[in-house]
A = this chain, B = another copy of it.
Amino acid sequence: MIIVFKPNISRKDETAVLKEIKRLGYRPHIMRGVARTVVGAIGDELTHQSLENLLTLFPQAVESVMPVQKRFKLVSREAHPANSTIEVRGHLIGGRRIQIMAGPCSVESETQLLATAEAVRAAGAAILRGGAFKPRTSPYEFQGLGHRGLKLLAKARKETGLAIITELLSEDHAELVAEYTDIIQIGTRNAQNFQLLIAAAKTGKPVLLKRGLSMRIEEWLLAGEYVLANGNPNLMFCERGIRTFETYTRNTLDLAAIPIVKQESHCPIVIDPSQGSGRADLVTAMCKGAVAMGADALLIEVHPNPAEALSDGAQQISLDAFARLMTDLKPFLEAAGRA
């Protein structure tokens, strides 16, 4: 920790602050600068108490307190210098192949799901997405088929060989969802629902953690830390757009998250261009950017008839559009040295 003193601090205050630093287990190291005196408090920030309280205890003396260590450990590159990979039914996420996870926003019916599953498999997807339990802004909106939706996903897996990813909304469903799915998705609204993260981690299934609507990357990595710290190494991060003032798009897809997560962490990074823009007509451009910038997987909303979708119709693309997209992405996959 670095503590910056206010100018003209009294000798008495200085002594008191230094005493408090020692009491909290740090060794203070004073540097008298030209305009400010600065104290380096030497000690492990992750095991000692934060010194931010000095601001409250000595408001007349302390101007700022700055941590110098990063707060995440297990998700960090320092802890695991090589890229982590996650195997899901024979498909490797985080390897040379960019994996495509595609399917409807919500599972609505057997016909809808099977038609989508077959079409996305034929076009090159390895993983089927589909919401069975849906978090909806309003209680009056379609909340998903629940258990029946999970069964339909399992059926689609059996018929197509696709692996399954679906969202977990409630700790109480953790076992049930884990029984059916291959990857557990934690949605943006639950990105800091730590109890849910722990419950997901404990199922042992790979976890895809979406970035919260207004989550700093550091907070996202720390939320991921909850998964690894609870004994589950199979974590992937999914950027899906952050909330800004812009209104043309539903969210602002922060593609810089790809190289940053790659730099800070060993976990795979997935991009969701559908939520990330909220507009079907932008999905192709977003996917091209994501592939070029190093994404390990894409999570794409596809529906046999987007105009009839029970949720988020404006951002789902049709089966034909998905097939075209897969073709359009090929040259960019090659340019990126991916398959």
Residues of A bordering B, CB below 8 Å: 2, 4, 7, 20, 29, 31-36, 38, 40, 42-46, 49-50, 52-59, 64, 66, 68-69, 71-73, 78, 135-140, 169-172, 189-190, 192-196, 212-214, 216-219, 222-223, 225-226, 229-230, 242-249, 252-256, 258-260, 263, 277, 279-282, 285-286, 288-294, 306-310, 313-316, 331-332, 334-336
User: Measured between alpha carbons, how far is A169 from B43 in the docked complex, in Å?
Assistant: 32
Q: B68–A138 contact, CB under 8 A? A: no
Q: A292–B291 contact, CB under 8 A? A: yes
CB < 8 Å: which of B7, B56, B335 contacts A335? B335
Q: B307–A226 contact, CB under 8 A? A: no
Q: B140–A36 contact, CB under 8 A? A: no
Q: A277–B306 contact, CB under 8 A? A: no
| Nearest chain B CB to A295 CB, angstrom units | 10
CB < 8 Å: which of B34, B136, B195, B217 contacts A42? B34
Q: A31–B35 contact, CB under 8 A? A: no
CB < 8 Å: which of B53, B137, B282, B308 contacts A314? B53
Q: Inside 8 A of A7's CB, which chain B residues have their CB?
A: 78
Q: Inside 8 A of A310's CB, which chain B residues have their CB?
A: 49
Q: A138–B56 contact, CB under 8 A? A: no
User: Measured between alpha carbons, how far is A207 from B290 in the docked complex, in Å?
Assistant: 30
Q: Inside 8 A of A247's CB, which chain B residues have their CB?
A: 216, 218
Q: A31–B34 contact, CB under 8 A? A: no
Quick one: closest B residue to A228, CB to CB?
A: B139
**Given A172-B171, A335-B332, A306 contacting B139 (CB threshold 8 A):** no
| Nearest chain B CB to A192 CB, angstrom units | 4
Q: A139–B43 contact, CB under 8 A? A: no
User: Measured between alpha carbons, how far is A83 from B325 in the docked complex, in Å?
Assistant: 23
Q: Inside 8 A of A31's CB, which chain B residues have their CB?
A: 29, 31, 40, 42
Q: Inside 8 A of A64's CB, which chain B residues have their CB?
A: 68
User: Measured between alpha carbons, how far is A193 from B170 in the docked complex, in Å?
Assistant: 9
**Given A139-B226, A245-B245, A38 contacting B255 (CB threshold 8 A):** no
Q: Inside 8 A of A244's CB, which chain B residues have their CB?
A: 242, 244-245, 252, 254
User: Measured between alpha carbons, how far is A50 from B38 in the docked complex, in Å?
Assistant: 18
Q: 23 interchain pairs (CB within 8 A)?
A: A31-B31, A34-B42, A34-B44, A35-B69, A38-B68, A52-B314, A53-B309, A54-B307, A56-B314, A57-B313, A59-B280, A71-B138, A71-B140, A139-B222, A139-B230, A171-B171, A214-B243, A242-B244, A252-B254, A256-B277, A285-B294, A288-B336, A292-B335
